[in-house]
A = this chain, B = another copy of it.
């Protein structure tokens, strides 16, 4: 880790807190972390760029929350117990109030999950946050994208599409009243990583992924990895009353290609429904059966009248315009 003078002071003021679990935290060349005996390390890294992953006007508290939340969501999808994280931050300038807000939002979520910041880097540059999270999981128990089997039920946690609906309202392409806008904006800016659900699904789910790029795209990753197909019932996709009030085309786009949902998409054997529902209840998160894994490759989405959708909206691509 690199620490110049101004940035060193900035780090000390906003991002250095006493370590509880780590052997050595912020302030040396490396951080040191001890896993529980026999556990494997689970690692995920996500980079958030201004104008691509968040708007420049976002409140720093919300950005701090979201930057950590999207990383915890990856640990959740693996069924790993979160331990710690690092933060690398490029800032256009050393803005005290902004850093304080970012730290506040980030640490509130970190505290809620009992994890701590153990290191990182700060530099001048176009606004960019790169968080790497560390978790632990017993050998062989991690939930992977590759385990889905023909006949498995496809499940999803929470509700889909609200984050995308808020984005469309920001863009002015849909109209929402003030309360609906605030509700959906919460979904966009303050996603809740499904860590407890991921843990409860160890030994229950056959495969899992977190929904960051939209259902079609992310389910596509699972299908490709597992060399199978799926049939999804459009009507079964869980949605808010705010989204239900939108025209069908908007609903379909938000549900299927929404992005930024940070819910868990997972598969489990057809006779494991009770266990899945129990896992959801234990984690305090609604879980909905939305379809089935089939042998025929490809994704088929069927509407309420039993008609298959001709064209599916694409998943989010960071290099598309």
**Which chain A residues have a beta carbon within 8 Å of chain B's beta carbons?**
1-8, 10, 23-24, 27-35, 37-38, 40-47, 49-53, 70, 74-75, 77-78, 80, 86-90, 93-94, 118-126, 128, 130, 132, 134-135, 137, 139, 142, 144-146, 208-210, 212-213, 217, 221, 225, 314-320
Chain B nearest CB from A311 CB (Å) reads: 15
The contact of A121 among B33, B45, B119, B217, by CB within 8 Å, is B45
Does the CB pair A130–B45 fall under 8 Å? yes
Does the CB pair A49–B125 fall under 8 Å? yes
Does the CB pair B132–A1 fall under 8 Å? no
Does the CB pair A52–B123 fall under 8 Å? yes
Residues of B within 8 A of A119 (CB): 43-45
Given A41-B134, A49-B124, A320-B6, A29 and B74 touching (CB < 8 A)?
A: yes
Given A49-B123, A123-B52, A4 and B316 touching (CB < 8 A)?
A: yes
The contact of A75 among B30, B118, B221, by CB within 8 Å, is B30
Residues of B within 8 A of A118 (CB): 43
Chain B nearest CB from A31 CB (Å) reads: 5
Instruction: Give the top 10 A-B pairs by smallest Cβ distance, nearest first.
Output: A49-B125, A4-B317, A130-B130, A6-B319, A126-B126, A29-B77, A47-B88, A30-B78, A30-B42, A5-B317
A8 to B208, CA, bound (A): 18
Q: Report whether over half of chain A's contact residues are helix, strand or loop; otherwise say mixed.
A: mixed
Does the CB pair A318–B33 fall under 8 Å? no
Given A47-B123, A86-B132, A74 and B320 touching (CB < 8 A)?
A: no
The contact of A30 among B31, B135, B315, by CB within 8 Å, is B135
A317 to B37, CA, bound (A): 40
Does the CB pair A33–B40 fall under 8 Å? yes
Given A123-B318, A124-B319, A130-B130, A32 and B41 touching (CB < 8 A)?
A: yes
Does the CB pair A42–B32 fall under 8 Å? yes
Does the CB pair B47–A90 fall under 8 Å? yes
Residues of B within 8 A of A225 (CB): 27-28
User: Which B residue's beta carbon lies closest to that of A93?
Assistant: B319
A selection of 11 A-B contacts at a CB cut-off of 8 Å is: A7-B319, A24-B142, A27-B145, A28-B146, A34-B139, A45-B121, A46-B88, A47-B90, A49-B123, A88-B130, A132-B132
Residues of B within 8 A of A10 (CB): 319
Does the CB pair B3–A124 fall under 8 Å? no
Residues of B within 8 A of A90 (CB): 47, 49, 128
The contact of A45 among B24, B86, B146, B319, by CB within 8 Å, is B86
